[in-house]
Structure 1
Amino acid sequence: MASAESNAAVPAAPQSAAPAASGIADPGALGLAAFAMTTFVLSFFNAGLINESVENVVLPLAFFYGGIIQLLAGMWEFRRGNTFAATAFASFGGFWLAFAGYSSQVAPHLNPAHAYQATGLFLLAWAIFTGYMCLAALRTSVAVLAVFVTLTVTFVLLTIGAFDQSTSITKAGGWVGLVTAVVAWYASAATVTNNTWKRELLPTWPLA
């Protein structure tokens, strides 16, 4: 699939107010890391920093790390009673699996004259989902909210770039996608570091 297809993908895990189920560790750091790395790699292509002829390097990441690992993180969040993180991780795990399938199995067989419309519609649907998740993220933390806001901007830019067939807008989406990945990596690092040290070393600035 052309590099304009998507950056995204990702869910971010809030600091849940619900108590964790006994024996279930916080899967937020894992889900965020999977999102961040996959988004980082794809965004390099969308931003035009690497030749798109080798873009398929993102497919294994999209399937195994961004897809399966985030889906598992979402299921663990359901077990912990965290509706927001479960919905986000499971959905974006599904996004990356769909992206991998679309890129490798569907896009090559679309009518070249209209393929951009399919890509634009795919991205638009995810922009809508990510946008309304921002509302729920207002009750999480600044770090998580920043992930969703930047991800929404990424999807919107990529959607416009796809429908308008604009390389420059797609590249802008790629750059915002890189910012999104860095923010998500920070949120992941804060979650795993603070949980391991049993105190706040990296702030996430809770909103609730």
Structure 2
Amino acid sequence: MSDTEKGTSNQHVQNYDRQSHLAPRPTRIANPGALGLFSFASTTFILSLYNVGARGVAAPNVVVGMACFTGGLAQFLAGMWEFPRGNVFGATAFTSYGAFWMSYATILIPNSGILAAYDGQPDELNQALGIYLITWFVFTVLLLLGALRRNLSFIALLFFLSITFLLLAVGTWSSQANVTKAGGGFGILTAWIAYYCGLSELLVKGESWFGLPLGTIKQERVD
């Protein structure tokens, strides 16, 4: 290979590497974004309604099925499909929150023995759950930092999700029902933002009558 050919080849690789984080790689895999966002939104919406005490519901156990299969399995698979598309952010977010929902469901399943280990020790259980929730708050804040140059909708989604986790953690630690209800309220808002983002992903140009803007942030090309 001549020096000229090598230079051209290297320039092509550099250009590909520079742009690979801005656009999905060519693939025959359909966009799993709508599946992941709808799964996340639906499960978050149900649990958040329970957290605010909607319809007099206090025990959240009915969400276990949703957490296992919709928020958990479906969202986890959406994350796996994002990897071959070259979307590291989407893969990390969907896979992680899918795992979150499955882990949360495991806590509520009686045969897991997790809650039984804290029988007679409600304060210790609350402290343990608070640590669990605050860890997801930290993770969500880190994702928020990674979303700052993507679009305004995802920034809003992760911002309100961060507040949701923080309030739920504080409410659990302090046993303050009003703080937990506030977390539920922010969770409902988060769910509707996720529904909006999911619908935007679903409305494909050329196949839908209209689209929904995500508030794209212009990215300057770095040479």
Q: Which interval holds the TM-score relative to the shorter structure?
A: 0.7 to 0.9
Aligned residue number for residue 49 of structure 2: 44
* Residue number among 106, 126, 129 corresponding to 1:119 in the alignment: 129
RMSD across aligned C-alpha pairs, in angstroms? Answer: 1.7
> Is the counterpart of residue 70 in structure 1 residue 75 in structure 2?
yes
Deviations 1:133-154, CA, capped at 9 Å, x for gaps:
1011112111111110010010
Q: Is the 8 A contact 1:18 1:80 kept in 2?
A: no
Distance change in 2, residues 1:160/1:196 (3 Å): farther
Q: Considering only CA atoms, is the larger Rg found in Structure 1 or Structure 2?
A: 2
Rounded to whole Å, the distance in 1 between the matches of 2:57 and 2:155 is: 31
Query: Whose RCO is larger (CA < 8 A, sep 6+)?
Result: 1
Distance change in 2, residues 1:154/1:164 (3 Å): same
Moved over 4 A (4+): none
How far the C-alpha of 1:107 sits from its partner, in A, is 2.2
Q: Is the 8 A contact 1:20 1:26 kept in 2?
A: no
Q: Secondary structure at the match of 1:113?
A: helix
How far the C-alpha of 1:200 sits from its partner, in A, is 6.1
* Gap runs ≥5 in structure 1: 1-15
Aligned residue number for residue 11 of structure 1: none
Q: Is the 8 A contact 2:157 2:193 kept in 1?
A: yes
Rounded to whole Å, the distance in 2 between the matches of 1:170 and 1:113 is: 16
Deviations 1:7-63, CA, capped at 9 Å, x for gaps:
xxxxxxxxx723343211111111000000000000001111133455221100000
* Gap runs ≥5 in structure 2: 1-20
Aligned residue number for residue 202 of structure 2: 192
Rounded to whole Å, the distance in 1 between the matches of 2:208 and 2:57 is: 43
Task: Give 2:99's aligned amino acid.
Answer: G
* Residue number among 35, 43, 47 corresponding to 2:40 in the alignment: 35
Distance change in 2, residues 1:177/1:114 (3 Å): same
Rounded to whole Å, the distance in 2 between the matches of 1:199 and 1:82 is: 27
Distance change in 2, residues 1:132/1:78 (3 Å): same
Aligned residue number for residue 96 of structure 1: 101
Task: Give 2:85's aligned amino acid.
Answer: R
Number of residue pairs matched by the alignment: 193
> Is the counterpart of residue 169 in structure 1 residue 179 in structure 2?
yes
State the TM-score, normalizing by the size of structure 2.
0.82
Rounded to whole Å, the distance in 1 between the matches of 2:63 and 2:143 is: 25
